[in-house]
Amino acid sequence: MKITMLGAGSGFTQPLATDILHLNSITSGTFALVDIDGERLALARKLIEKIIQMMGKDWNVIASTDRTQVMGDSDYLINFIEVSGVDTVRYDNDIPLKYGISQCIGDTIGPGGIFKALRTVPPWLDILKDAEKLCPDALVLNYTNPMSIMTLAGIRSSCMPIIGLCHSVQGSSKQLAGYADIPYDELKWRCAGINHMAWFTELSHNGRDLYPELKENCLQSSLWEKDPVRFDMMRHFGYFVTESSGHFSEYVPYYRKRDELIDLYCREGYLGGRSFYANEWPTWRKNKDEKIARQLNGEEEIIIKRSHEYASIIIEAAETNQPAVVYGSVLNEGLVDNLPSNGVVEVACMIDRNGFNPCHFGSLPPQLAALCASNMAVYECTVEGILNKNKDAIYHALMLDPLSAAVASPKEIQLMADELFKAEREFLPDFV
């Protein structure tokens, strides 16, 4: 067993490695850690080695700043690279803000998401080219945002089997059980759509539809304030969506186009705070590195409980051929009947020794499909622009973005794009 983790300085490394070490069916193996930042790579290696020792496992750790030196013959590639680190966070946020585009997270949709794609997709495709030569049989698990764009570009460019993984489906289903005051194991649900915009089209308990009661109860302030944007969308569009109120407010044109609307529907932090990610991400990154240093020095406890991330579930199911179900981003190909078949959707996928086996969902309610399709058009133009070096397609992606289109004219959006191209030129492909 060999598992290569790309971008090992990421916060994903510790929980995913810990999850894998919890698998009783896999008793030994090698973690191959890769990061172009040698200092952060060294911290990650020491932390994983310490966790292996704490758990009494027979695993080896190798590490390199050059992925080609360690990824050969990998069984699994787990990708969570962060291209440009924190160097472009303020550009992604502040330049669009000049044009009235207020972002909360801005890393999967909107100007921030599209420019993150421009920085991240080219290295991602280089990784996949190396994988085709060095570990052609590996399953590829992508955690890097912008999830839908990364997955779509990878599928169109590589023969490697790729699935995009997030925690919004399992996290939101647990939140819904809490909102409905239902034991999670007793909650029945179906979900499909696109990453960060998948919809719980069924929500029931012992045959009872939970939506009527939830739509009524959410108007109580104590519940409403926990998720105002998502509850408002549920009341008007009929169903609950998988992404947090703050991040989801960027996917639709309704909530962030005027200050009074932001004040009415959004709250601080993950509930929709203005420039939240740009203000906090540099500090989070620094704090995480300092936390690892304290853990290595014995000054802070290392938590080794299993998380609800999907990577270890996939690995166990593929290795033991004991089928398991996860929700992942995959090529549609008729899985969701009323979304573009050549786009990427997020649906239930059965995992076994044959790898990723996406499950047919059927049709989404038309109003939900329309919202998903509007974002899929942005992803399509972005991937078209990157793969075919078509700068106009990037302009079009920004103009089609629901948040940008809600507040800026096509001319203003093009001027904004040109400012971003200039500010971030060090990290962008030559064609822009």
Helices (H), 109-250: 110-134, 147-157, 168-180, 211-217, 221-224, 228-237, 245-248
- What kind and span of H or E run contains 61? strand 58-64
At 28, list the tokens. 């030994």
Catalytic site residue 247? no
The span from the CA of 424 to the CA of 432, in Å, is 10
CA angle at residue 344 from 11 to 356, to 5 degrees?
Answer: 70
The span from the CA of 259 to the CA of 414, in Å, is 23
Select from 357, 352, 349, 348 the least CA-distant residue to 317: 352
The span from the CA of 271 to the CA of 244, in Å, is 7
Percentages helix, strand, coil for the chain (3-state, rounded to 5) are 50, 15, 35
Note the maximum CA span of the chain: 61
Query: Which one of the listed residues 22, 167, 205, 308 is annotated catalytic?
Result: 167
Looking at the annotation, which residues are catalytic? 167
